[in-house]
Structure 1
């Protein structure tokens, strides 16, 4: 799959929505191509987060609703999913590993996305990085995960560092 899968965490349960709006503007100006995106909002006091695939950004989306459902199920809703499904889950999660979703990724997300926060999961390409950076100034995003190389990831983090 072409594209960069990144996960951004925000210190409020509405931060990811603000970022998604910014992404939509950037895409309309041809400064980034969004292939798929989803938001996780976890209001303070809620037992579980609310998740939503952002079809308004992507139309059909490059990843299926089943992909997001499985990912968010593993992350937030069904801790025993792996034990219940056994080997059948292996084939499904194998394709996730191809885009950088592995045990380390899952552990990082579970640790960081907690009540009172939100996260934006986005599959992009063709970003004009400096222009994208300008528009995200002040949004307090923390890059949790990406399938970029270490060098590309360090470059991305340095661009978004305040």
Structure 2
């Protein structure tokens, strides 16, 4: 089961920087992210979501592959495999992109938008679903970014460790 962690940061680019750092740590097997999204609340108060996984692109690619395969098979039966392949791929791309646009897994967009209304304009927030994390290695890497924990589904002990790690920088007065 994954844990939800929502942290807000000063500055519109900070959450992007933290996500990049977490993705680097994921390659080192220090953290296992299931889903991630950066929310930016611009200076004029508009909320923008940046999904880490582009479901439309993934849907279109998988649809093209399956459509091409089935189109080639149908075309082979009708003695014109190239026309079947082209038609199948075109239909597959369209249906795959549509299914990718309509599917939403992971963190609910409405939840993120409503939470985003509660952060300061000109700031950002990072929403992550974490399968596993090595707190002893990850928390020191996140200290330079500061941040404020908004919501978590972590245990009380884990949440306190995260808050203390982020607040130690905030209390010194040198935020990123």
Name the residue aligned to 2:111.
Answer: 71
Name the residue aligned to 1:29.
Answer: 28
Secondary structure, aligned partner of 1:30? coil
Shift, 1:66, TM fit: 8.4
1:140-155 equivalent positions in 2, closer than 5 A = 140-155=146-161
Larger RCO: 1 or 2 (CA < 8 Å, sep 6+): 1
Segments of structure 1 that go 5 or more residues without pairing to the other structure are 76-105
More helix by share: 2
Segments of structure 2 that go 5 or more residues without pairing to the other structure are 60-102, 169-176
Q: Distance in 1 between matches of 2:132 and 2:106?
A: 25
Secondary structure, aligned partner of 1:122? strand
Query: Does structure 1 retain, via aligned residues, the 8 Å contact 2:139–2:162?
Result: no
| TM-score, normalised by the number of residues in structure 2 | 0.61
Name the residue aligned to 1:92.
Answer: none
1:34-45 equivalent positions in 2, closer than 5 A = 34-45=33-44
CA shift digits 1:53-101 (9 cap, x unpaired) = 1117xx89xx92585333245x1xxxxxxxxxxxxxxxxxxxxxxxxxx
Q: How many residues align?
A: 122
Structure with max Cα Rg: 2
Shift, 1:23, TM fit: 0.7
Q: Distance in 2 between matches of 1:66 and 1:148?
A: 16
Determine whether 1:52 maps to 2:58: no
Distance 1:110 1:49, change over 3 A: closer
Name the residue aligned to 1:157.
Answer: 163
Shift, 1:145, TM fit: 0.7
Q: Distance in 2 between matches of 1:155 and 1:66?
A: 24
Shift, 1:11, TM fit: 0.7
Shift, 1:43, TM fit: 1.9
Distance 1:137 1:67, change over 3 A: closer
Shift, 1:161, TM fit: 3.4
Shift, 1:21, TM fit: 0.4
